[in-house]
Each structure stands twice: as C-alpha cells, then as structure tokens.
Amino acid sequence: MLIFRKLLQDVPAVIGLLILIFATLIAIFPELLVDNLVAANRGNILLRLQPPGVDHWFGTDDLGRDLFARVVLGTRSAIIMAVVVVLAAMVIGVPLGLVAGYFDGVVSGFIMRVTDVVLAVPQLILAIAIAQILGKGQESAMIALAATYWPFFTRTVYSEARRVRSQLFIEALEGLGASRFRIMAFHILPNVAAPVLIRATVGMGFTILTAAVLGFLGVGATPPSPDWGLAISEGRKYLPEFWWYATFPGLAILLLVLGFNLLGDGLRDLVDPKLRRSR
C-alpha cells in the first residue's frame, strides 16, 4: 500500500499512530502493565495519598488506590467512549449528509438548517445540558456526546457530497438510470470516505476531551469507575501538595488526544497535501 508507506514517512503521524496502538493494547489487555487489577478498585486507607514511588508508580489517591492501575484501566473506558460516540455520530451524521448533499429541496434544506442550529450551540454546553437531563452515568454522557457530534459529520459529508455530485461520472450514472441509493452508497460514499475518516480520527480525540470535562463536572461517569475526568475532579481538592493525583490522569488525556490529533493531521496531509498542518 503506497498510501500507508507515505504515512510512515510522516514522523508526527507515526508518533500519533504509536500512541494509539499502545493505548488500544492496554485498553484491551490492561494486565500487561498492571499485575493486580483488583488493587485499582480496592482502597487501603493506610496507603492514601502516597507519592509516586517504586510500589506505586503514579502514587495513590485519597482512598489509597493505586493511581497507575486506575489510569491504565481508565484508558479502556476513554477509548470505548470515543469509539462508541464517534461511531454513533457517524451513523446518524453521514447518511443525513449524503441525503442532504445529493438531493435538492425541502428535505435537504431542513436537514442542513437543523445541522446549522445544532452547530451554532457550543458542543460542550449542549452536551452538558443533555447529560444533565438524562441523569448521571457513562451511558448518558455517551448519548449526549453522540447527539451533539453528528452535525460535524453531516457538514463534512454534505459539502463533499455536493462536490462529488457535480462531477461528470455521477451525471453519467444518472443518465444510465442508476438508482439514487446505488449512486449514494457505491459512488458518492467512497468518494467522501477520506474526509469522513479524518474527521472521525480527530473527533475521537475531541470526544475524549469533552468526555473528561463531563466527568470533571460530575455529569459523566460516576465513582468508583476509574474515569480520568472524574479523577482530575477528585484530585483537584488535593492540589498542590498531592500533585500526582490530578496530574497523571491529566497527562493520560493529553497523550491520547495528542495521538488522535497527530494521526488525524497526518491523514489529512495524505489526502490533501495542500492543507498545511494547522496548529
């Protein structure tokens, strides 16, 4: 694969890819890094707020749980969250964008106006509101994030589908009498796949960040789950003396989001070298 080989020449993208591979591995097999997974959830009040050391690499939290184990376990929930939210947003957003982009008329006008309205409200604020209504818990956070992220896909797919639709081969297919579904599914969709994948990669990083904020604000994951955002929120009370409590979950978020963004940028450069690396 020529495209893959070209990606490997892009150093930041490779770093991003390595971060993501590593994160995925420990999300699936956390026992690779943590011998005693039970320790992550079982506190020992005598060992509370121990600084980082040989026994506890990242120190311990206010209940004496091993922070390293909790950060590792948090990877799983963060990645599941990102993947589920982005997939759900794609399932909603991509077909809507295809329909709105391929057809003209009231339906596509309606779809795009709704999209614009949702996009006009900052995603975080809307997500907080929805999560608040749905009640606490990781599920409601996921629903809130998916319900606010799909318009990004609709916008992307819409503008790309418009571009592809105006190309001659679509006209040729219409001339042959191909069905609308066939044209959308087999011809427009593959031609818009690249920007959708890039949007999805960057979107996963973004979702992790937003999910952490929801956890931090207490509308996301609930204790005792090893959520990073939640951990920062709890650790905040012990700053600055017990700095490690909030710092290590924060670094984990930083690293994972960085991984997604680097890879996303690399993919974008592959598809369109003219778009310079932003940021």
Residue ranges in contact with another protein by CB under 8 A: 104-106, 109, 113, 167-169, 171-179, 182, 186-187, 190-191
Give the nearest distance from C-beta 79 to another protein in angstroms. 30
Give the nearest distance from C-beta 167 to another protein in angstroms. 7
* 3-state SS record for the chain: CHHHHHHHCCHHHHHHHHHHHHHHHHHHCHHHCCCCHHHHCCCCHHHCCCCCCCCCCCCECCCCCEHHHHHHHHHHHHHHHHHHHHHHHHHHHHHHHHHHHHCCCHHHHHHHHHHHHHHHCCHHHHHHHHHHHHCCCHHHHHHHHHHHHHHHHHHHHHHHHHHHHCCHHHHHHHHHCCCHHHHHHHHHHHHHHHHHHHHHHHHHHHHHHHHHHHHHCCCCCCCCCCCHHHHHHHHHHHCCCCCHHHHHHHHHHHHHHHHHHHHHHHHHHHHCCCCCCCC
Considering beta carbons, is residue 173 or 197 the nearer one to another protein?
173
Considering beta carbons, is residue 177 or 240 the nearer one to another protein?
177
Give the nearest distance from C-beta 174 to another protein in angstroms. 6
Considering beta carbons, is residue 158 or 248 the nearer one to another protein?
158
| Spatial contact of 24 and 79, defined as CB atoms under 8 Å apart | yes
Give the nearest distance from C-beta 99 to another protein in angstroms. 15
Give the nearest distance from C-beta 94 to another protein in angstroms. 17
Considering beta carbons, is residue 58 or 102 the nearer one to another protein?
102
Considering beta carbons, is residue 88 or 178 the nearer one to another protein?
178
Considering beta carbons, is residue 173 or 258 the nearer one to another protein?
173
Give the nearest distance from C-beta 89 to another protein in angstroms. 24
